[in-house]
Amino acid sequence: MSTTTAAPTELAVHQVDARRMGFFTDTTTCIGCKACEVACKQWNDLPSDGAQFETGSYDHTGSLGASTWRHVRFVEMLDPAAGGPGSGHPGDLDLVQWAADGDGEGSGPGAGAGVGGPASTGVLGDNRWLFMSDVCKHCTNAGCLDACPTGALVRTEFETVIVQQDVCNGCGYCVPACPFGVIDRAPTDGRAAKCTLCYDRMEDGLEPACAKSCPTDSIQFGPYEELVDIAQRRVATLHERGETGAYLYGAGDEPGEELAGGLGAFFLLTQPPERYGLPAQAQSPVQENVAPATVAAISAGLLAAAGVALAFVSAAHGQGRAARLRRRRRW
Amino acid sequence: MALRGHASIQGSTDIPTLFDMLPGYLRMPAAEDDLQSLEAYNAAAGNPKGWWVNYPKYSISLLKAWFGEAATADNDFGFGHLPKISGNHVHFATMLRALDGGLDGLFLMGQNPAVGSQHAGLQRRALASLKWLVVRDLAEIESATFWRDSPEVTSGELNTQDIQTEVFLMPAASHVEKEGSFTNTQRLVQWRDKALEPPGDARSELWFMHHLGKRVRAHYAGSDRERDWPILNLTWDLPEHGERAEPDAEAVVKEVNGYVVATGEPVSGFAALADDGSTACGCWIYSGIYADGVNQARRREPGDIADPAGGWVSPEWAWAWPANRRILYNRASADPDGNPWSERKRFVWWDEEAGAWTGYDVPDFPLDKRPDYEAPDGALGMDAIAGSEPFSLNQDGRGSLFAPSGLADGPMPAHYEPIESPVANLLYPNMDTNPVALRWRRPDNPYHETEDPRYPIVATSFRLTEHHTAGGMSRKLPWLAELQPEMFVEIDPVLATDRGIVDGGWMVVMTARGEIEARARVTDRIRPLRVDRRRVHQVALPWHWGYSGPVRGDTTNDLGVLSGDPNVFIQESKAFSCNVRAGRRTGASTARLAGVHAGQHIAVDEDDVLAENPKETPPT
């Protein structure tokens, strides 16, 4: 890679020979401790969003925003009695109905009367929380960056996308341009803010605060290609163990154009993406509105300017994987 | 001082914050012991067979560490000056004593009983009965502010001007702002260095106790009263360093390790301790932690991870008591003949050629005692332990699935319902609850009877990841507070529907001690139990909130009752009975103690006798 030619304004290059860096967030090892959320706020000096009690979940911070750059989503999975009548969908268990049905002697839970009562093994079998630590995806085709008229949003030498706070004029065009609902304007000064993949820490060779604080390594940080390799092996391991629903979201398990050309911060999921509040398809508005060929040309231009050819190789490689893995996808 | 819920619970038992033990699991002398001499104490506390035959070496070395030159054979090494326990001095009993006017002052170090202890309303009244109270914590916790903002004061039950407690709030250094050690459950003692200076007036516990001790001793200087002897003669000479005169924590490690009195040289381990006053040792089981004058707990050498002798044990990573053994009684990893039970898991074994025990760990057995050694009749001490008996601290050298003695109940496990339960004991119909559990029966500590129709619901308390115990370390931090901002109760949809409680709405939980309000979290995760063909509902309550700080809420512990398990006196009331309704609580106070005056003991019954008397604590 070379950075001897003048970088376009969209690129910030402080380190030559930098590689694409990213996050691999493995939801199967997340324990929902929210340490990443707190570590992110501490390192980046982000304020509390206030204390609001939310119903229905242990998640009181709700979503990503201008002052929440990591957010742990809690998805409650309550499986009714496996195999019992009316046990089609997780979360369908109607305890009130169960109580009405199960009042008489002999027809209560465990009596095998066909009602999925709490004492039957199926109910206790697959009750769990899905945790997902969400974050900016640092898209290959970043909608926010495409929409930014001031050049405040830039791609760094690590192929991450960051906001230059001192350039941002608060127009907010980036907000609807993000297919993931990540970027947000701060209520205080109106400027856009989001995860920087701890650009300041990376400049000093440190891993981002969230990955550093993760006690189970659910959040892994590193060179993108290495992370994809680790993630694919993890998927294979999970498949061997019978967790056949495991797949990668944003790293080659789908055509590049579906998920913003590939995600620098990608995820290992076990349920359809919508269950985690993630879109099944995600494109930058430019991709939506311009013929694919043109997109490719634009992307090629940008990337060539950055002197990064590896990402293309990776993307092409990813397409083959996507075709293979798409068969297993559940959405 | 209670340090429950912290990283060094093992350490706080080894060098105990418990009322009935001296360091290293030596017995605390009691006032009612028949004989008050050191010899009688040693004879009663030690054992003629097994390792405890060495008891006098440890108790005398401890007295030498504490009283230095003043401890001589002629004065029983100062044994007569040790405090004697005269009853059950557990937290609950002590707070009741305070409530009844029997306690002048209290130190709270890292504990917040106004929120974190059972029957918190009663705890706050007890704090209000003290003359003085020292609170050392990271933040201004409820136990330091109860006199101005507790529910009792807000409601007018207590008046601030009537509370005579003088509160001294002392800011504490956090664990990164002081040096010291954590002892984990494996008995591994890991040292940590100080990362930065504590802010402002915040100081380490060591600094606080050291300088408090110096000032106390200055007050007593020159006294010739016999009762002041232990204060005047206590060794209190830690070196200080820096602008803040911080005591040298490693000097404490050296005292804990033990040293030769004549030379000051650290001993190599507890085998070098003597019962003639020639050695001093602050905690015999930790002896060896400062061997060779090196803080062994500070080591960070993991060893060769691929090699069983390295990575399995990592003997040079920190230090484990006793004698750097990573697994206690590890001779049991070999069969009676001394061969590994499993070649794959070989750990400690008999080497016939060398005539010694060897292995990856430090063998927990006399190195040269052959596996086929038979104890002759009448043998004493370690000679009474056969070569095939690994559990050398027990008189018979054997492990027990059930302890034949030493427990207030047992030896066989049995099922009892909690002291407060909405259901009777189906297993033993004649005995619903543990008959030897501790109960403090008094008007201000009312119990629910089994199957009390007024309290048909099971309540259980739990902790959240986002908060730490009574919240002193987490509720004050906005980043943590926003993650779990408000007190809530988990309740099942059936009970919620029955009582008109809606998800996110207010609900009230009631016991005979108090009533608290909280947000309802209606969830299928909480399931009714079915007991004896009856449906029994349960509610679950986190207990992290209190009445001060940026996020506030009612305190779960306001509902609880003082009770204790019969052996270590830990609260028995992890589950208790209650009732619930929709809405907000009726009054400003969460407690129902108004009009119940302190000091009204009802007639002493057998339960009270148990509560007043300390348990027998044979060495373990």
Query: CB neighbours of B604 closer than 8 A, spacing ≥ 6?
Result: none
* B22 φ/ψ angles, rounded to the nearest 5 degrees: -100, 165
Which residues does residue A153 pair with via DSSP β-bridges, in sequence order? A163
Rg (chain B; Cα; Å): 27
Tell me the pLDDT tens digit for each residue of B208-262.
999 999 999 999 999 999 999 999 999 999 999 999 999 999 999 999 999 999 9
Mutate to test the interface with B, among A58, A69, A73, A129 (most CBs of B within 10 A): A58
d(CA A160, CA B244): 47
Mutate to test the interface with A, among B176, B462, B466 (most CBs of A within 10 A): B466
- What integer is the mean pLDDT of B511-529? 92
Which of A32, A93, A96 is the closest to B497 by Cβ?
A96
- CB spacing of A53 vs B494 below 8 angstroms: no
Which of A56, A60, A118 is the closest to B483 by Cβ?
A60
Which of A37, A51, A93 is the closest to B481 by Cβ?
A51
Confidence (pLDDT) at B257: 98
Tell me the pLDDT tens digit for each residue of B350-381.
999 999 999 999 999 999 999 999 999 999 98
How many CB pairs below 8 Å do chains A and B form together?
A: 71
Taking the Cβ of residue B473 and every Cβ of chain A, the question of whether any pair is shorter than 8 Å is answered with no
Count CB neighbours of A178 within 10 A: 26
Half-sphere exposure of residue B195, counting CA atoms within 13 Å on the CB side? 5
Count CB neighbours of B55 within 10 A: 21
Confidence (pLDDT) at B127: 97
DSSP for B59-93, written as a single string: HHHHHHHHHGGG--GGGGGGGGGS--B-S--SHHH
Nearest CA in chain B to A90: B524
Q: Can you say whether the dihedral through the CA atoms of B34, B36, B40, B46 is positive or negative?
A: positive
- Residue B71 pLDDT greater than 60, yes or no: yes
Rg (chain A; Cα; Å): 22
Taking the Cβ of residue B479 and every Cβ of chain A, the question of whether any pair is shorter than 8 Å is answered with yes
The mean pLDDT value of chain B amounts to 91
Nearest CA in chain B to A71: B483
- Residue B321 pLDDT greater than 70, yes or no: yes
- What integer is the mean pLDDT of B281-294? 98
Helix (H) or strand (E) segment spanning residue A315: helix A310-326
What ipTM was estimated for this complex?
0.82
Taking the Cβ of residue B532 and every Cβ of chain A, the question of whether any pair is shorter than 8 Å is answered with no
- CB spacing of A93 vs B525 below 8 angstroms: no
Do the strands B575-582 and A247-249 form a parallel or antiparallel pair, or are they unpaired? unpaired
Count CB neighbours of A109 within 10 A: 21
Q: Which residues of B touch A89 (CB under 8 A)?
A: none
Which of A56, A61, A93 is the closest to B482 by Cβ?
A61
Helix (H) or strand (E) segment spanning residue B220: helix B205-220
Tell me the pLDDT tens digit for each residue of A232-281.
999 999 999 999 999 999 987 665 456 888 899 999 999 999 999 999 88
- CB spacing of B488 vs A53 below 8 angstroms: yes
Which residues does residue B169 pair with via DSSP β-bridges, in sequence order? B135
Q: What percent of chain B has pLDDT over 70?
A: 94
Which of A48, A60, A109 is the closest to B530 by Cβ?
A109
- CB spacing of B503 vs A55 below 8 angstroms: yes
Query: CB neighbours of A83 closer than 8 A, spacing ≥ 6?
Result: A122
Q: Which residues of A touch B544 (CB under 8 A)?
A: none
Confidence (pLDDT) at B308: 83
- CB spacing of A47 vs B478 below 8 angstroms: yes
pTM of the model: 0.84
Count CB neighbours of B571 within 10 A: 22
d(CA B358, CA B340): 11
Regions of chain A where pLDDT drops below 50: 1-9, 81-92, 103-124, 256, 304-331
A-side interface with B, Cβ within 8 Å?
A: 32-34, 37-38, 41-42, 47-56, 58, 60-61, 76, 78, 93, 95-96, 98-99, 105, 108-109, 118-119, 127
- What integer is the mean pLDDT of B449-473? 94
Distance from CA of B526 to the nearest CA of A (A): 10
Tell me the pLDDT tens digit for each residue of B579-608.
999 999 988 888 877 666 544 443 334 444
Which residues does residue A263 pair with via DSSP β-bridges, in sequence order? A139
What does the block give as tokens for A282? 């995600």
Higher-confidence position of B167 and B605: B167
Count CB neighbours of B512 within 10 A: 18
d(CA B80, CA B38): 8
- What integer is the mean pLDDT of B58-81? 97
- Residue B616 pLDDT greater than 90, yes or no: no
d(CA B609, CA B440): 10
Distance from CA of B487 to the nearest CA of A (A): 9
Alpha helices (H) along A81-223: 95-101, 121-125, 143-147, 174-177, 199-203, 209-213
d(CA A228, CA A313): 13
